[in-house]
Chain A
């Protein structure tokens, strides 16, 4: 593994010489500026994006971590103190082991994608087969790769071995039609509805929302896009978080903005024989929290709890986690009424909702402070724990049945693993780092 200083040196050297494609090809067993995380539905693997944010290499990557191996190593360490040969005790964090990420990656399973990707989502195609969709900011594109559950590898048309996804797996043009526009710039967050077989992507600079038709048995297509959903000026009309209330035909997808306190609801309509399209529905405002007039803005993440009856939203202004009651009222629409709120760290960047065995909790990554806040939604919510995880935590993903929470630490080139087992003495603490901190 390259340390940060070695990497910097490599960049200088690379600038001094003409680098061959092999020189700048990212190593398969390494995480570099990890961002987005997603756990497979069977909790067998963890997909990790490396954003290649310093352009050290010619591409970013999707790495595949074997969660079962992680679970086994963590369990052994917690129960017997045994440290896997690939790991060492973290000298800075007692009770934590730091591991070479290569030892936990599924060999030959990863692929290469464009740079500056920050989120990804997994579509369940059935039969252990998955599709991984990634908004790539560098291209910009929506890149997709197929996960073969039997072969345990991703593929995206780039040939054998750590392939670079080909153009067919990089959706850049609406409906693939040269007469239609290209995908909007700055694709940011993504939500996938495996039941209704679509993906929705927000765009950070334009506020556009893009719809991807993603039939399990077919090929994804950029089907539709809606712009102008949010106020703002120029390039500051950003759409940020996106999540669906409940997968299926009556799914309602909530989209946030960084420039407005509006939550726009969207649904997807399908007419037989033609591509689906986006239907902007009602909207509501985050008027319930925030001093000096009651507005919250710079929303950075939304996630739904079980059955879609509770929406969790993180905002940076003021820093808060807000919980909205999204049960259906007597008229059949979500109530969208504030039911709880908690003060939060500054610069919250990621959000995941998971139940590790003691009920639903919201986990929020705090980019600035290097923490993960744990929010208990009972009552009107309260901060249950604050866990230190490392520098610049960003993406989160949970393996609920394994009681593990994964947090990418962007500036440490690693993924922190937090113990969600309430009966453990390391409950809500980092027990393992996948990747040696740079």
Chain B
């Protein structure tokens, strides 16, 4: 090394020359080439003290320095009048021993720089970037981290060729060397950092063979490599060879080799047997060759992921290992020399592998008063976060508990927990472990949608900070950062020291478990504890929530009820089921408020939406009577297309629909659901028909639906298919299997047929008359609706679920039946079985529930617990989570409790207080006193429905009818429904879970995330993207730096 006191100036001059010659590139030219890993070096002017204190006579050298040398420089500078050590307010020095500034010498901190070595696998190169070391920490602007030119004689910014398919890079403790593990050549490349930085004309890279204790080369392909994190002396010259140990994972050798970086010698190993059990082995590691002449490999655990922690508080040094073909996390204790001493393993639930791991220090769990340093034995925990092949991030506690942690606890069942330590690590599936969230596919942390985790790192934020106002971007505590396949980096709360650990029942919105429990995706929504009150605390009933989707979950506006005036008079909409309403007495208004609205009391909002994490950010929820089981549109794929297509055949007494793709159990079809044949839309011409077919509408049809018939046989088939063509073509499912629905003709049942079953034909006749009045808007006392001219019989209906009698429409001829139904066998049918030739070719149809509301979230889809049994039949799963429900019938078993955790039976029947706005009639009349009306709270019957998203009470599943005036509820009817197919209510849910992501920049394929010594996280984006429109991101990879203390900002290198 040469002594160059004016190094920065010299470098600047060199850089300007360099830029003027070869390294200049037009804006936007990518300098990286799909990086896959990175490591850091520290470089700058160092006083060579030889381990002694600073002396003005000591030489100053520009050279690599241990990472700690730069990390210390990122700390706050002590004030001029710094209190003495031990005194209050003392700030420790932000320079390493012996590296303080001395009079009449250059300020050493000004030359310190980070060098980032990014390995680029496909090209076999390493790109080098650099940035200033910022005193006091803080972030960088993009451009402040930039790529160096590795070869000033070649145009552009060149990377350094290091070997064949390098897959990992690690620094030695002195920062003087970088090592890459090369999968293509089964060796290690050693990069001379000083020579790179100094652009010295010496070999920059040399090969290092990995040699076992017997002297034989290890020719296995590495999948991961890290180095130990031992201290290196600051203020000494670079060693002649790299120091410390390398840990190299060899999947096909089923081992992790512990290798001396200086010699390449394997000095120890961790070996995995066929079931993935680990043992510590010696350095005589024998691996089948994978480079050159490849040797056969055997079965065994495949280690592919490594992380190492050094925790100076607890004194532990541990290596975490993940195997991509075994559901096991391995943790290896290391001694002071970083050699393995003991192994422990934690089994994970399910048949998964592990593709990345990160291990925390020992954390002082719980606490909400800001950063904590001291470790209490009762609160101590050390976690391994493992990216699993089931697209979740698994968590295991590895100090004393040594088991996997359930991260998907359903907060409904945790309201009573008063000690946050209980949350440290519940073991999955054990007695005493609360139930799992209904949507969870494993104990692991699950990313939203189809996103899958790629890499994980743990870090700290808000170190030494006291508590602050709760905000998504205010991080104090321990956090994990998880990159994903769609380019996001999620923040996970490991221990948020700025939020309550348990829920306070009197203030549920300020202590939500989804925000406070460990191992939860961090929510990015603001004002979660906000309520509809003025600054003075007065209630605002009309306030629907803050703008911009802030605040807690709620319906965006009053839920709508879609009423068809041909089925229910416009002024009788209150006969229909709806959501429970609460009386709201506000500063702005008094009103009946649906329970999903923002202005309901916090305890109600907490009951209605008990788990913030379960909610999509926003979503339409619909509740439709006998609605479709599948509502996918052209842009969604959650529960299948609303209109399906398949082959239909006819047999004696049955009509059958087939789909070789086997979608019916997945759609949730159950016996007695119904299928509506959709034919074709004549407005579309023949586009919906097959080759040689035309869309034909029968002249007698009262429904605007055609059917695809062969063009050359329309005249013949019009007659033969007539009854089928003029009906609404609904058929009852008798047997459902995954690829086949066997259906029967479906009878027309009186809409007001009692939900508990009719008792006589006469009752049916009376109820038919009642049904006829539903479309009349008159008060009962004025209603002159003529009696129904239809006839009904009370008996079992073979086309609906057995167990009760229903009022079924009967007939002597077609004129006796309602429109869209046809007379056959004395019954009015909603669809008759036609001759086979009426159904030749592809048929379009839709799937519907019978006698229930279908509950469908626009993004969640229709939820059900139907599975395929061993014979292929669609049946309800035994032992399914009771919240996996998507139907609301009009009657149900009685509820067993009102608590948020009383989830069975579900749905259930109960009585609730319901507030409604009713006319204020003058006594003895049906004349309102005013147009405004009055609020009335009455006990009404309700069906309580819970799914993983919400708890709602559907009031008035059946309406008692009115006696004299509308709304008087004096009709005395019991169990008489008024719903009709197509009736629906719904709302737009907003303020749902919003993931907090790290950084302001999207990545393309962030296959790796790493932590730098200053606590920042670095996202290694391998992704290559070149949009054709040129309007969005175009890179061949990038590196994004995020400071956890400013989690929403970032800087990039491209």
Question: What is the predominant secondary structure among interface residues of chain B facing chain A?
Answer: loop
Mark each residue of chain A from 253 to 279: 1 if its CB lies under 8 Å from any CB of chain B, else 0: 000000000100101110100100111
Q: Say yes or no: A279-B324 contact (C-beta < 8 A), given A318-B1025, A343-B1007.
A: no
Near B by CB (< 8 A), chain A positions 175-189 give 175, 177, 179-181
Near B by CB (< 8 A), chain A positions 276-311 give 277-285, 287-294
From A46-54, A108-116, A333-341, the one touching the partner chain is A333-341
Q: State the Cβ distance, A357 to closest chain B Cβ, in Å.
A: 9
> Which residue of B452, B663, B867, B1024 contacts A319 across the interface (Cβ within 8 Å)?
B1024
Q: Are B486 and A288 in contact (CB under 8 A)?
A: yes
Near A by CB (< 8 A), chain B positions 628-648 give 632, 634, 637, 640-641, 644-647
B274, CB-defined interface residue at 8 Å: no
Interface residues of B toward A: which range? Answer: 35 or more
Distance, CA A341 to CA B451, complexed state (A) = 12
B739, CB-defined interface residue at 8 Å: yes
Interface residues of A toward B: which range? Answer: 35 or more
Mark each residue of chain A from 112 to 154: 1 if its CB lies under 8 Å from any CB of chain B, else 0: 0000000000000000000000000000000000000000000
Q: Are B647 and A269 in contact (CB under 8 A)?
A: yes
B378, CB-defined interface residue at 8 Å: no
> Which residue of A174, A267, A271, A337 contacts B840 across the interface (Cβ within 8 Å)?
A271
B-side contacts of A292, CB under 8 Å: 487, 1002, 1004, 1025, 1032-1033
B1005, CB-defined interface residue at 8 Å: yes
Q: Are A252 and B449 in contact (CB under 8 A)?
A: no
A-side contacts of B1002, CB under 8 Å: 291-293
Q: Are A271 and B649 in contact (CB under 8 A)?
A: yes
B-side contacts of A95, CB under 8 Å: none
> Which residue of B637, B877, B1005 contacts A284 across the interface (Cβ within 8 Å)?
B637
A346, CB-defined interface residue at 8 Å: yes
B660, CB-defined interface residue at 8 Å: yes
B-side contacts of A291, CB under 8 Å: 486-487, 1002-1005, 1021, 1023, 1025, 1033
> Which residue of A288, A333, A380 contacts B666 across the interface (Cβ within 8 Å)?
A333
Distance, CA A320 to CA B661, complexed state (A) = 27
Q: Are A333 and B634 in contact (CB under 8 A)?
A: no
Mark each residue of chain B from 1014 to 1052: 1 if its CB lies under 8 Å from any CB of chain A, else 0: 000000011111111000110000000000000000000
Chain A minimum-CB-distance residue to B121: A383
A-side contacts of B640, CB under 8 Å: 282
Q: State the Cβ distance, A314 to closest chain B Cβ, in Å.
A: 13
Q: Say yes or no: A281-B663 contact (C-beta < 8 A), given A180-B692, A294-B451, A346-B1024.
A: yes
> Which residue of B297, B450, B665, B1005 contacts A331 across the interface (Cβ within 8 Å)?
B665
Q: Are A180 and B165 in contact (CB under 8 A)?
A: no
B-side contacts of A423, CB under 8 Å: 293-296
B308, CB-defined interface residue at 8 Å: no
Q: Say yes or no: A289-B486 contact (C-beta < 8 A), given A269-B658, A333-B666.
A: yes
Q: Are B665 and A332 in contact (CB under 8 A)?
A: yes
A-side contacts of B295, CB under 8 Å: 423
B866, CB-defined interface residue at 8 Å: yes
A235, CB-defined interface residue at 8 Å: no
Distance, CA A317 to CA B1023, complexed state (A) = 10
Distance, CA A81 to CA B690, complexed state (A) = 60
Q: State the Cβ distance, A15 to closest chain B Cβ, in Å.
A: 35
Q: Are A277 and B841 in contact (CB under 8 A)?
A: yes
B842, CB-defined interface residue at 8 Å: yes
Near A by CB (< 8 A), chain B positions 857-874 give 866-868, 872, 874
Distance, CA A380 to CA B1025, complexed state (A) = 21
B-side contacts of A330, CB under 8 Å: 867-868, 877
A-side contacts of B1007, CB under 8 Å: 343
B-side contacts of A427, CB under 8 Å: 294
Mark each residue of chain B from 500 to 513: 1 if its CB lies under 8 Å from any CB of chain A, else 0: 00000000000000
Q: Are A279 and B646 in contact (CB under 8 A)?
A: yes
A385, CB-defined interface residue at 8 Å: yes
A22, CB-defined interface residue at 8 Å: no
Near B by CB (< 8 A), chain A positions 21-63 give none
Chain B minimum-CB-distance residue to A262: B637
Binding site for A on B (CB under 8 A): 34, 121-122, 165, 183-184, 223, 251, 292-297, 302, 304, 324-325, 353, 355, 389, 391, 449-452, 454, 485-487, 632, 634, 637, 640-641, 644-647, 649, 658-663, 665-666, 687, 690-692, 738-739, 840-842, 866-868, 872, 874, 877, 1002-1005, 1007, 1021-1028, 1032-1033
Q: Can you list 15 contacts pairing A with B, beta carbon distance less than 8 Å? A: A228-B687, A267-B660, A279-B645, A283-B632, A292-B1004, A294-B450, A319-B1024, A320-B1023, A330-B867, A330-B868, A338-B391, A341-B452, A378-B251, A379-B304, A424-B294
Q: A274-B840, A291-B1004 are in contact. List 17 more A-B contacts (CB 8 A).
A: A175-B691, A179-B692, A231-B634, A250-B662, A271-B840, A281-B644, A287-B451, A291-B1005, A293-B486, A294-B485, A320-B1005, A331-B874, A332-B666, A340-B389, A358-B297, A385-B184, A386-B122
